[in-house]
Amino acid sequence: MWIGVLCGLLAGAVWGLVFVVPELLAGFSALELAVGRYLAYGAMAFVLLLPRLKSLLASLAGPDYLALLRHALAGNLVYYMLLATGVKYAGVAPTSLIVGMLPVLVTLLGRKDHGAAPLRRLALPLLLVGAGIACINVDSFLHAGPSRSAGEIAFGLACAAGALLCWSWYALDNARYLKRNPQFSSTQWSALYGLATGVVALPLGLLAWAWPLADGAAGPARDLALFWTCNALLALGASVIGNGLWNVASRRVPVTLSGQLILFETLFALLYGFLHRGFGPRPLELAAVALLVAGVTWSVRAHAPGREARQAPAAGADLAAAPARSQA
C-alpha cells in the first residue's frame, strides 16, 4: 500500500503544474490548450506503444474501447477544458480549491467499494480536509482583485465545479476498471488511453485552428513556441508519467484512499502558485496546507493493512471477486 501512496504523491506533484500553464498561455482558448496537450500526449503514447501496438490492439474487446473513450473525454479532454476555463475566469486558487474537493466527493461515491474504510472512521480526517479547503477559499476571496466581474467569476467557478464532477467520475471508473482487468499493466493502460485521447483530440484540433474561439482571440500575445513547449512538458510529465504513477496507485490502494491522495495535486498546485506569484503563503493558506496534510496522513493510517486484517472473513471473498472482467 505504501508504494501506492508514494506513487499518488508523485502523481500529484506533476499534476499540480496543470493549474499554472493556463496562466502562462492566457492568449489561447481552453479548447486549444486541451488539444495541444493531448495531441502531444497521443503522439508520445503512440511512440511508446509502437513496438507492441498491433498485438495490444488485437487484445482489446468492445468494453475496453468504450472505457478508453470515456476516460479520454472525462479524465482528459473535457476535464482539462473546464479546468483551463476555470483558471482563466476565476483564477488559479479558487479553481484548484474547488477541484481540491475531489477527495471528499470520491470518498463518498466510493464508500461501498471493497477496501473502503467506514465513513465513521473517515469522518474526522474529512472534517480536517473540509476545514483546510474552507480556510483557503476564505483567503482567496478576501484577497480577490477587482479585475474580474462577478459574472466571470461565477462562470469560472461553474466550470471548476464541472471539472470536479468529471474527474471524480473518472477516478472511480478508472480505479474500478483497472482492478477488474489485471491483464493491462498500469503503463499499458495509461499509454492506451493517451493514444485514445490523441485520436479524439485530432478532429477537435482541426476545429480549434480552423475556427478560433473568441476567448483566445483578444488575449495576450500568442507565443506558439511557448505553447508547444508547455504542452509537450505537460504531456510528458502530467500525462505520461503522472497517469502511469496514478494507475499504480489505483491498483494498490482502496478507492476511498485514492480519493484522499488526490489532495497532493492541490497542495502542489498551491506550492507552484506561491512560486509563480513570488511570495509565500499567507496565514490562512498556511493553516489550510497544515489541515490538508493532517487529513491525508490520518486517512492513510485509517487504511493501514493491520486494520484490514481485522475485517470479517467475507472481505476476502470480495477481494477474490474484484478482478472479474466487466461485461458492461
Section 75-100 average pLDDT: 87
Q: What pLDDT score does 213 carry?
A: 52
Do 25 and 80 form a contact (C-beta atoms < 8 A)? Answer: no
Q: What is the DSSP string of 81-113?
A: HHHHHHHHHH-HHHHHHHHTTHHHHHHHHTTTS
Phi-psi region of 278 (alpha: psi -120 to 50; beta: other; left: phi over 0): left
- 112-121, 222-231, 309-318, range with the lowest pLDDT: 309-318
168-200 pLDDT per residue, tens: 888 888 888 888 888 887 777 877 888 999 999
Question: Does position 106 have pLDDT exceeding 80, yes or no?
Answer: no
What's the residue count for the chain?
328
Of the chain, the percentage scoring pLDDT greater than 70 comes to 80
pLDDT band at 159 (very low <50, low <70, confident <90, very high): very high
pLDDT for residue 98 is more than 60 = yes
pLDDT at 219 over 90: no
Mean pLDDT of the chain: 79
Give the DSSP per-residue string, 225-285.
HHHHHHHHHHIIIIIIIHHHHHHHHHHHS-HHHHHHHTHHHHHHHHHHHHHHHTS---HHH
In this predicted model, what pLDDT tens digit does every residue of 29-80 receive, in sequence order?
Answer: 888 899 999 999 899 889 888 888 888 888 888 899 999 999 999 988 999 9
pTM (2 d.p.): 0.75
